[in-house]
Structure 1
Amino acid sequence: MDLLDSNHWSDVHRLLADLDRDIAGLYTEAGIHGIRTRFVGPLIAIGRFGPLTIRELADRRNVSHSAMSQTVTAMRQAGLVETEPGPDARTRLVQLTARARDAVPFMEAEWRATEATTRQLDEELPYSLTQVVADIRAALERKSFVARLQDNFA
């Protein structure tokens, strides 16, 4: 078999996309438009802790500053957040718009329901997905993905 005809983890990517689509569908059914699932965590954080800098949001969500900056830009374009100068010239504070504030209770309920549901699913599995991830991370600590790639690079 030619590995160019393979995409070994495509089912994992498709599963995550399907779950994401189902979550997004809850927002559509509730008449809440323009909120992508990647917005929910940052919007909840701002709702809970008040205006935050992009760095603070990135740290809370465990993503890069660049990724959060892109997310904030998209949320601003969707009319969910506003930014204003922060405590120094290099920072911007991100705060919710009224529309986002109104949606925060739904987002919090969805987040809790999603967490409960994924935990229940994990318990149903003979080998939990969280354990799979931990085992993959442990294997990558023994030998990095880059080193493994290099070993297989032809």
Structure 2
Amino acid sequence: MPNVPDPTDESIWRPLRLLQARMDDDIARLYVESDLPELKPSYVMELLRLHARGPMTIKDLATSVHRTHSAMSQKVAAMRAAGLVETTAGSDARNKVVDLTDKSRQIVEKLAAEWQATEAALVALEDELPYPLSKAVQDIEKALVHKSFHDRILDQLRGSTAWE
């Protein structure tokens, strides 16, 4: 077994990813407690979007929630397997149109209430913080307009013999 340093032992943003996962787990627990175990927090935006805007192609749904077509196609397949959406052929053979199932239509108001409660809980949580995460995100986005993350990584790689 090799005995080399593992660079993944340290990560500045891993705690943020783990925090978000913990919060998503709490939302998922609400679904289980409400007898919705097939529902995942990552499905709710798409279900609410379909409810608000009606059936959409996978491409249009992906665009509307800022996801790739490939990622949305995989998510739609998972939501279809859970009985939350159905797909039909679109205007040509390459397109699939996604729509809510009756099962989803019965719970969508409940999901909207949870979404709004989650947003309100986040606002209340941020009120307890000296520097709200939403402000940090805005500041990071502003800094990345000045210089992209790609360029920042390249700067750090300059002179690295392992990267050359």
Q: Equivalent residue for 2:30?
A: 26
The separation in 2 between residues aligned to 1:35 and 1:29, in whole angstroms, is: 11
Q: Which runs of 5+ in 2 are unaligned?
A: none
TM norm structure 2: 0.86
Shift of 1:38: 0.9
- Residue of 16, 21, 46 corresponding to 1:12: 16
Q: Equivalent residue for 1:46?
A: 50
* Structure with the larger RCO, 1 or 2 (CA within 8 Å, 6+ apart): 1
Q: Equivalent residue for 2:129?
A: 125
Once structures 1 and 2 are overlaid, which stretch shifts more, 96-105 or 31-40? 96-105
Q: Equivalent residue for 2:138?
A: 134
Task: Work out whether 1:98 is the aligned partner of 2:102.
Answer: yes
Shift of 1:54: 1.1
Q: Which amino acid aligns with 1:121?
A: L
Shift of 1:3: 7.9
The separation in 2 between residues aligned to 1:140 and 1:59, in whole angstroms, is: 22
Instruction: Determine if contact 1:32/1:103 at 8 Å carries over to the other structure.
Output: no
Instruction: Determine if contact 1:51/1:95 at 8 Å carries over to the other structure.
Output: yes
Structure 1 consecutive aligned stretches of length 4 or more whose deviation exceeds 6 Å = none
The separation in 2 between residues aligned to 1:107 and 1:86, in whole angstroms, is: 27
Percent of aligned positions that are identical? 44
Q: Which runs of 5+ in 1 are unaligned?
A: none
Q: Equivalent residue for 2:80?
A: 76
Q: Which amino acid aligns with 2:121?
A: T
Give RMSD over aligned pairs: 1.6
Task: Work out whether 1:60 is the aligned partner of 2:64.
Answer: yes
Task: Work out whether 1:35 is the aligned partner of 2:42.
Answer: no
Residue 108 of structure 2 aligns to a residue whose secondary structure is: helix
Q: Provide, for residues 105-139 of structure 1, a one-character-per-residue CA deviation record: whole Å limited to 9, x for no partner.
A: 21111101011111222232211111101111122
TM norm structure 1: 0.91
What is the aligned length? 153
Shift of 1:36: 1.0
Name the one with the larger helix percent. 1
Shift of 1:89: 3.0
Q: Which amino acid aligns with 1:33?
A: P
Q: Which amino acid aligns with 1:150?
A: L
Instruction: Determine if contact 1:82/1:95 at 8 Å carries over to the other structure.
Output: yes
